[in-house]
C-alpha cells in the first residue's frame, strides 16, 4: 500500500495492522452503545417501507469526467468550491426521499473521509474536510436515513485480486466508516462479487465484521439475482437488471436521473422527466422494491438547479401507497458460509453467456474465461458488468447429459455443516434447474454416506437443503433430475 499516513500511524503506536484493527473496535462501543440486535426480517420490512431513496455518486470521477476514474489522479483535482450537503438533503426531502446512499469510495480508491490507511483521500485535497461527516449530519438532521456505498475493489491501494493484506485494508476502512458516524442503516458493496468474487475477499469475514460493529446495518451487494450472500437484493437498472413481476424479496433498484452515475458537463441538459420517476415508483412499489434515483452533484459540490426543480415536482406528485400488504416472509438463506478449497465434477463445461465481446482491457477477463468446475465456487454473482459498462454476463457450469452427474466439494479439513445451497443460472428460464438431488458426505473422500435427498421447485431462486449437523470434509452432490442439462452457477455449504 502506497501510503505514508498509515506507516506513520503504525510507527507512532508501535502496533501491527491486526493490532490496530482490534484497537479500533472498542471505539465503536461508545458510538452505538445500547443498540439491540433486531431480526433481519424486521429490518428488511422497515427498509422497504422507506420506498424512495437517493444514491449520490460524488467522488474523483466528478472532477475527471470518468464513470470509473483512473486510480492515480492527483488529489488536488478534487476541489468542490461550494460543497453543501444541506442543499442535497433539502432537495431530497422535498422529493419525499427517506434514505440516501453516498459513494464514500469508488473503484479508484479515493476516500471522502480522512482514512488512516491511505493518503488518497479528501484530506489530501484542497477541500480537506470530512465529507462523510457533513453528509450524515445533514441528512440525519432532516429525517433522511444516511447509508453508505463502499467499493471493495480499490485500484489505488491494490485491492483487485484478493489477499489477506488487501482484506485487512477493507476491514480497517469499514471500521472507520462504521464507528465514526453513528448508526448506519445500510451499506452497499460494489466491485466485489463481480470483480474478484466473494472467495478472494472473504464474504463471511466482511459480513461478520459489519454485523459486529453495527448489528442492524443491512448489507446489499451489486449482484441483482437472489438473496445469495446479501441482506437486500440490489437491481442495477442501467445494465438492464430489474426485479421480476412476482418479486417478494426485500430489494432496491437504482436508475440515474441524468446521463451517468457521475456528473458530466451536459448532465443539466439530461435530467429525466417527471413521468420517468413517477413511472418507476409506481412499478416498483408493489414489488417490495425501493426505488433509488441516482443524483450526481456537480463540481461545485451542489445539485444542479434543474435537478432541484425536478425533485420538488416529484415531491408534489408522489405519495407512498399505504395499502400495500406487509413484506411476505423471506425465503431461507445461509447464515454462515464455508469456503471450499476445491471442487471436482463429472463431465461438463464452463460457460459465459453471452460470450464476452472482448477480453483486452476488461477488468474481469479472468472471470469471463474460466474453464474449470471452479466456476461454481468463485463467489461471483450471475450478472456482472464488463469493461466499465453495463453489459451483464453470467457464468456457470453446464453438465454433460450423462446418466450420472455429480460434483464433490472439498473443505480442506473436517468441519460441521448443516446446509447446502445451490444457485441456478439466470436468463435461461427453467433450463438447467436441478429439481431432485442427493447429498452424501465423507471424511476421506472415498467412503460416502447419504445425509439427505429431496426435491426443489422449478424456478431460479436460491435453493437450500437442510440436514442434521454433520462433521465432514467432502460433500458429494448428485443430480437426480433437472430441466434439460443441469446447470450450476454457485454451490456450497454452511450453517
Write the pLDDT tens digit of every residue in 396-437.
999 999 889 999 999 999 999 999 999 999 878 899 999 999
- List, for residues 239-254, the tens digit of each pLDDT value: 777 888 899 999 999 9
Q: Which backbone phi and psi does 385 adopt, to 5 degrees?
A: -85, 150
What the block records as the C-alpha cell of 18 is: 491486526
Tell me the CA distances in angstroms from 38 to 25, 41, 44, 92, 211, one per residue in order.
20, 8, 10, 28, 11
Bridge partners, residue 189, by sequence: 150, 221
pLDDT digit string, tens, across residues 336-372: 999 999 999 999 999 988 766 555 567 777 787 889 9
Q: Which of 306, 315, 217, 311 has the alpha carbon at shortest distance from 266?
A: 306
**Mean pLDDT estimate for the chain:** 90
Rounded Cα distance, 430 and 456, in Å? 12
Q: How far apart are CA 212 and CA 78, in angstroms?
A: 33
Confidence of residue 13 (pLDDT cuts 50, 70, 90): very low
Q: Is residue 95 within 8 Å of 278, Cβ to Cβ?
A: no
Residue 271 φ then ψ, to 5°: -75, 130
Closest listed residue to residue 94, CA positions, set 308, 279, 284, 280 = 308
Residue 260 DSSP symbol: S
The domains located in the chain, with CATH, are 4-317 (3.20.20.80), 337-494 (2.60.120.260)
* 234 class by beta-carbon count within 10 Å (0-12 exposed, 13-18 middle, 19+ buried): buried
In this structure, are residues 435 and 455 in contact, taking their beta carbons and an 8 Å threshold?
yes
pTM recorded for the entire structure = 0.91
**Pairwise CA distance, residues 248 & 48, whole Å:** 11
Alpha-carbon gap, residue 240 to 426, rounded angstroms = 13
CB 130 within 8 A of CB 136: no
At what angle are helices 274-284 and 305-317 packed, to 10 degrees?
Answer: 50
- Judged by DSSP in three states, 38 sits in coil
Amino acid at each position: 500500500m502506497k501510503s505514508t499516513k498509515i506507516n506513520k500511524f503504525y510507527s507512532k503506536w508501535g502496533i501491527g495492522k491486526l493490532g490496530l484493527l482490534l484497537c479500533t473496535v472498542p471505539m465503536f462501543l461508545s458510538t452505538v452503545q445500547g443498540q439491540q440486535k433486531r431480526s433481519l426480517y424486521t429490518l428488511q420490512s422497515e427498509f422497504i417501507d422507506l420506498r424512495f431513496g437517493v444514491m449520490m455518486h460524488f467522488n474523483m470521477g466528478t472532477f475527471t469526467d470518468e464513470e470509473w476514474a483512473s486510480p492515480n489522479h492527483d488529489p488536488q483535482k478534487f476541489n468542490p468550491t461550494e460543497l453543501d450537503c444541506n442543499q442535497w438533503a433539502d432537495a431530497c426531502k422535498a422529493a419525499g426521499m427517506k434514505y440516501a446512499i453516498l459513494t464514500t469510495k469508488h473503484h479508484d480508491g479515493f476516500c471522502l473521509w480522512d482514512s488512516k490507511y491511505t493518503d488518497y483521500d479528501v484530506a489530501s485535497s484542497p477541500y480537506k474536510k470530512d465529507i462523510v461527516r457533513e453528509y450524515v449530519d445533514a441528512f440525519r438532521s432532516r429525517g433522511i436515513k444516511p447509508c453508505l456505498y463502499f467499493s471493495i475493489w480499490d485500484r489505488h491501494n491494490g485491492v483487485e485480486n484478493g489477499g489477506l493484506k488487501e482484506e485487512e485494508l477493507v476491514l480497517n476502512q469499514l471500521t472507520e466508516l462504521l464507528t465514526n458516524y453513528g448508526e448506519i442503516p445500510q451499506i452497499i458493496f460494489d466491485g466485489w462479487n463481480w470483480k474478484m468474487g466473494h472467495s478472494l475477499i472473504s464474504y463471511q469475514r466482511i459480513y461478520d465484521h459489519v454485523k459486529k460493529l453495527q448489528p442492524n446495518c443491512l448489507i446489499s451487494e451489486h449482484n441483482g439475482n437472489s438473496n445469495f450472500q446479501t441482506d437486500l437484493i440490489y437491481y442495477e437498472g442501467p445494465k438492464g437488471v430489474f426485479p421480476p413481476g412476482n418479486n417478494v424479496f426485500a430489494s432496491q433498484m437504482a436508475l440515474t436521473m441524468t446521463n451517468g452515475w457521475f456528473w458530466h458537463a451536459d448532465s443539466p441538459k439530461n435530467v429525466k422527466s417527471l413521468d420517468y420517476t413517477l413511472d418507476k415508483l409506481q412499478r416498483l412499489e408493489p414489488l417490495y422494491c425501493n426505488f433509488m434515483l441516482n443524483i450526481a452533484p456537480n463540481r461545485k459540490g451542489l445539485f444542479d438547479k434543474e435537478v432541484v426543480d425536478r425533485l420538488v415536482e416529484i415531491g408534489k406528485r408522489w405519495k407512498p401507497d399505504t395499502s400495500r400488504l406487509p413484506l411476505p416472509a423471506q425465503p431461507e438463506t445461509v447464515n454462515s458460509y464455508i469456503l471450499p478449497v476445491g471442487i471436482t465434477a463429472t463431465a461438463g463445461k464452463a460457460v459465459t453467456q453471452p460470450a464476452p465481446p472482448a477480453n483486452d482491457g476488461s477488468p474481469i477477463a479472468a472471470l469471463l474465461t474460466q474453464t474449470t468446475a471452479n466456476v461454481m465456487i468463485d463467489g461471483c454473482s450471475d450478472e456482472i458488468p464488463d469493461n466499465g459498462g453495463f453489459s451483464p454476463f453470467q457464468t456457470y457450469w453446464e453438465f454433460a447429459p450423462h446418466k450420472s452427474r455429480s460434483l464433490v466439494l472439498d473443505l480442506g479439513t473436517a468441519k460441521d455443516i448443516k446446509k447446502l445451497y445451490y444457485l441456478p443460472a439466470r436468463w435461461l428460464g427453467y433450463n438447467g434447474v436441478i429439481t431432485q438431488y442427493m447429498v452424501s458426505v465423507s471424511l476421506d473422500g472415498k467412503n460416502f454416506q447419504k445425509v439427505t435427498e429431496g426435491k426443489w421447485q422449478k424456478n431460479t431462486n436460491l435453493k437450500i437443503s437442510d440436514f442434521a449437523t454433520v462433521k465432514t470434509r467432502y460433500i458429494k452432490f448428485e443430480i437426480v433430475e433437472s430441466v434439460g442439462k443441469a446447470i450450476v452457477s454457485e454451490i456450497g455449504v454452511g450453517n
